Amino acid sequence: LFIGIDIYFAPEDYEYNFQLEPFLILAVIAIAMIPLQTSMEEYLMRGYMMQGLGVLTKNRWFPLLFTSLLFGLLHILNPEVDKLGYGILIFYIGTGLFLGIITLMDEGLELALGFHAANNLTAALLVTADWTAFSVDSVYRDISEPVLGWDMLVPVFVVFPILLLVFSKKYGWTNWKEKLTGKVLTEEEFLKLDN
């Protein structure tokens, strides 16, 4: 939606780049490989690391914040950071926080896996630029001067909160405080609850 809005209001910043054969090759490779790449990130960050830190610290808030910050910082070598500056890390850290919240609230990785893959597929297939990590044969090429703008901040401060509200209604999420900041039980404490 935001890509479409930006193309509509600033068409001079985009060049139509669609060529059927290179795009189809890109689509096949992207659809096959991007879910693997994003799944590895999600299993590492929101799977193993978040769980491991939760067991070590006995709480949920530290793993959520730590993995969100680490997720953002792991993107620091992306070419976008070189062109847009460290302010783009707000987007990456905010995305990590969003993915962590939906993982904890849904008590599973499925939403984070799907969202991350869809986000990266959209980035690869719809718009590319010479200065991005996905400089490929997308439908459009961004030819504007790289600038950190609203399109990087609106998702974090507007879209992600709206999605959290939608997901909470759709999936019946409750007990936010406990799920995001509560105690992580030891195995013994968990087994006592189960009895």
Structure tokens at 65: 């914040």
Which pairs with CB-CB distance under 8 Å and at least 24 residues apart come from 179-184?
Answer: 179/60, 179/104, 179/105, 179/107, 180/60, 180/61, 180/64, 180/101, 180/104, 180/105, 181/59, 181/60, 181/61, 182/59, 182/60, 183/58, 183/59, 183/60, 184/54, 184/55, 184/57, 184/58, 184/59, 184/60
E strand intervals along the chain: 14-16, 127-128, 140-142
Would you state the pLDDT for residue 6? 87
Q: What is the total count of domains within the chain?
A: 1
Whole domain around residue 37: which residue ranges? 2-8+21-194
What are the tens digits of pLDDT across the range 100-157?
Answer: 999 999 999 999 999 999 999 998 999 988 888 878 899 999 999 888 888 788 999 9
Q: What's the confidence (pLDDT) of residue 195?
A: 65
Q: Is residue 58 part of a domain?
A: yes
Residue 13 forms part of a structural domain = no
- Whether residue 124 is contained in a domain is answered as yes
14 belongs to a structural domain: no
What SS3 class is residue 16? strand
pLDDT at 113: 98
In a domain, 16, yes or no: no
| Three-state secondary structure call for residue 14 | strand
How far is 113 from 133, CA to CA, in rounded Å?
20
Give the pLDDT confidence score for residue 94 in this predicted structure: 97
* pLDDT score at 189: 84
What token pair was written down for 130?
């010479």
**8 A C-beta contact, residue 14 and residue 135:** no
Residue 20 has a CB neighbour count (10 Å cut-off) of 8
Task: Examine residue 55 and state whether it is found in any structural domain, yes or no.
Answer: yes
CA torsion, ordered 136, 149, 161, 67, to nearest 10 deg: 60
- At residue 191, the pLDDT reads 84
Backbone angles phi, psi at 100, to 5 degrees: -65, -40
In a domain, 170, yes or no: yes
pLDDT at position 182 is 95
In a domain, 150, yes or no: yes
Q: Which helix (H) or strand (E) holds 70?
A: helix 61-73
Low-confidence ranges of the chain (pLDDT < 50): none
